[in-house]
Amino acid sequence: MEVVCGCMFSGKTEELIRRLKRAKIANQKVEIFKPATDTRYHETRIVSHDENYIPSTPVQHSEQILLLSEGIEVIGIDEAQFFDLELPRVCDTLAAKGMRVIIAGLDMDFTGKPFGPMSNLLAKAEYATKLHAICAVCGNLASYSFRKTNQTSQVLLGEKDVYEPRCRGCFVDGMRTASTA
């Protein structure tokens, strides 16, 4: 099991696509899944911010991945933070069958707390890659996704109009300012 994580705009999907395309070049049987709720760019593609894409299968629940992965050698899962909490068990089952499972997702939500099943996936992974963006405020390495709106629900699909990458200091400053506003 491999997990690629980081904040928004850190290149998680780009890295997932890169790894999956390499598996395809090696003539491995590859299947890619994403949550059906994520339709920001395309309903049946995983699309990076740089507009690279790869076909994917949208699923409502992680259990569906087990049903759709028969005969597959490499499984890709994007936006893992949006999946249900059964995803780590599903990934364990796939890996135990000898499949390479590559997962990408946000490790933290907009409040800086672990997001969905990601912390459990990171704990179970043999390989974990944490990517960084560039802080939109000061230019340092960013590992936080700062929400620029007053919306408080954990899940809010958006792009640069709603989120920006921030380093720890700028994230803390922004959260402090937002709480006093």
pLDDT reported for residue 155: 62
State the Cα–Cα distance between residues 58 and 61, nearest whole angstrom: 9
Query: Max CA-CA distance within the chain?
Result: 55
Residues 125 and 107: their CA atoms lie apart, in Å, by 13
Domains and CATH numbers, the chain: 2-131 (3.40.50.300)
Q: Are strands 127-131 and 74-77 parallel, antiparallel or unpaired?
A: unpaired
Q: What percent of the chain has pLDDT over 90?
A: 76
CB 83 within 8 A of CB 35: yes
Counting Cβ atoms within 10 Å, is residue 50 exposed (0-12), middle (13-18) or buried (19+)? exposed
pTM for the model stands at 0.90
Per-residue model confidence (pLDDT) at position 18: 94
Residues 6+ apart with CB under 8 A from 74: 20, 23, 28, 29, 30, 31, 99, 100, 101, 102
Mean pLDDT of 114-141: 97
- 3-state secondary structure at position 51: coil
The pLDDT assigned to 28 comes to 98
Name the residues annotated as catalytic.
79
Task: Report helix, strand and coil shares of the chain as percent, to nearest 5.
Answer: 30, 30, 45
Residue 48 has pLDDT above 70, yes or no: no
pLDDT tens sequence across 51-100? 676 778 999 999 999 999 999 999 999 999 999 999 999 999 999 999 99
* pLDDT of amino acid 85: 96
CA angle 144, 61, 146 (to 5 degrees): 15
* pLDDT at position 109: 95
What mean pLDDT value characterizes the chain? 90
